[in-house]
Amino acid sequence: MPIINRFADLHEEIAGWRHDFHRHPELRFDVHRTAGIVARKLEEFGCDEVATGIGRTGVVGVIRGRTSGSGKVIGLRADMDALPIAEATSRPYASEADGLMHACGHDGHSAMLLGAAKYLTETRNFDGTAIMVFQPAEEGGAGAKEMIDDGLMERFGIQEIYGLHNIPGIQAGNFAVKSGAMMAATDRLTIEVDGIGGHGAFPHTTVDPVLVGSHIVTGLQSIVSRNVDPREAAVISITIFRAGEADNVIPPSAYLKGTVRALDAATRDTLEARIRAYVTATAEAFGASVRLTYQRDYPVTMNHPDQADLAASVAEKVVGPARLDRDPVPIMGGEDFAWMLEARPGAYIYMGNGDSAGLHHPEYDFSDDAIPYGCSYWVSLVETAMPLD
């Protein structure tokens, strides 16, 4: 089941949809134009049902196969939202929205799933039901959780769920997938240190929050090296440190923010516990007070074994074994598809985007060369998971 010839015929049309999405990027849940186009096309294709407003602005298309004796229902998910980045590509279809662009390829993800939906409504060569899930607000808005909380899985009877993301630096159309962790849990922390300010020439009369904060930043780095198994991956990065306005004044407070990443639940728990203990103890040791806000965001993107095996076998059929990596190194970035994988068994696969700029870079662009591979993967997944007798 190699690249499907029909997508050679549809390539220009699908690329055109992507270019339109790219020209008109929208943020988080404000994807009204994109969602409207998606819904209209799904209706034009002949989906059996099209639902809008799922998880605020999500769209769902239902496609029933020629038969439904298997009773199987699988979901395919694409994200629709863009990023608050000013584009620097000079493409003819470059963003027309100031300060916004599709810097993560969600324009391509949505276009490929639309292409798959068009093909599946034409052929229906499967026994079961395919659910096309177009999700808003992946970029920091937890749109996947919003759709789940709005009854996505139950309303459409989804039994398994699958996702795909492009990856720069891998040959366009190559795939990578495995069982277990694919992407990290992402947590945020805010640390507010309250000391006693004063003249910079008389530090003995103060409780210096800059010094306290500096010890916190330095000490937090020892948590990964001394509390996490060296065979595991974890990250603690303090990315914001603000304090003071004058060079001869010790300020009364300091403000720090950062991100915490882990690839399993136990490590995630360890990091939070040790951060809380260290931050509190360090502030107390210097006579300062501290407020720590620790926010858990996206969980670990954890593929299920059977579904990861299915995804791998389908990708191998599409592109051959030489273009499939069955043991990719997990990425410490986060992905809210993790919540869908907590709600239902499924798998998340990487697809190469070629030698492009990196994700979230102002010169990034999704590769149109990848479109036939992504569309063929989606269709082949449906036809393999729910084969006709």
pLDDT along the chain (389 residues), means of 10: 79 97 98 98 98 98 94 97 97 97 98 97 97 96 97 98 97 96 97 98 98 98 96 96 97 98 96 98 98 97 98 96 96 96 98 96 97 96 95
For residue 32, say whether it is annotated as part of any ligand binding site.
Answer: no
Q: How far apart are CA 124 and CA 309, in angstroms?
A: 24
On whether 165 is known to bind a ligand per the annotation, the reply is yes
What sign has the CA pseudo-torsion 165, 169, 173, 178? Answer: negative
- Cα torsion 336, 341, 346, 349 to 10°: value is 30
Half-sphere exposure of 47 (CA within 13 A, CB side): 25
**Residue 319 and residue 2: Cα distance in Å, rounded?**
6
CA distance 139 to 102: 11
185 within 8 A of 300, measured Cβ to Cβ: yes
CA nearest to 139, candidates 293, 22, 20, 29: 29
Q: What is the model's pTM?
A: 0.94
CATH fold, domain 188-295, is Alpha-Beta Plaits (3.30.70)
H-run or E-run covering 50 = strand 49-54
- Give the residue among 111, 113, 163 at the shortest CA–CA distance from 341: 163
Contact assessment for residue 56 and residue 136, using Cβ atoms and an 8 Å cutoff: yes
Instruction: Answer yes or no: same fold for 5-182+299-385 and 188-295.
Output: no
Q: Which of 386, 383, 389, 388 is nearest to 2 (CA)?
A: 383
Helix (H, G, I), strand (E, B) or coil at 140: coil
The DSSP call for residue 187 is E
Q: Where are the domains of the chain?
A: 5-182+299-385, 188-295
Residues with Cβ within 8 Å of residue 150, at least 6 apart in sequence: 54, 55, 56, 58
Whether the Cβ atoms of residue 310 and residue 385 lie closer than 8 Å to each other: yes
Which phi and psi angles does 319 have, rounded to 5°?
Answer: -120, -5
Single out the residue of 13, 23, 301 nearest to residue 180, CA to CA. Answer: 301
- The reply, when asked if residue 199 is annotated as ligand binding, is no
For tokens 């050679």, name the residue: 8
Q: Which two tokens stand for residue 332?
A: 């410490």
Instruction: Please check whether the domain covering 5-182+299-385 is classified as CATH 3.40.630.10.
Output: yes
> What's the pLDDT score for residue 272?
98
Does 81 qualify as catalytic in the annotation?
Answer: yes
Q: What is the pLDDT of residue 111?
A: 98
Q: Is 192 annotated as a binding residue?
A: no
> Of 26, 79, 127, 138, which residue is the catalytic one?
138
Does 47 count as an annotated binding residue?
no
Question: Annotated catalytic, 96?
Answer: no
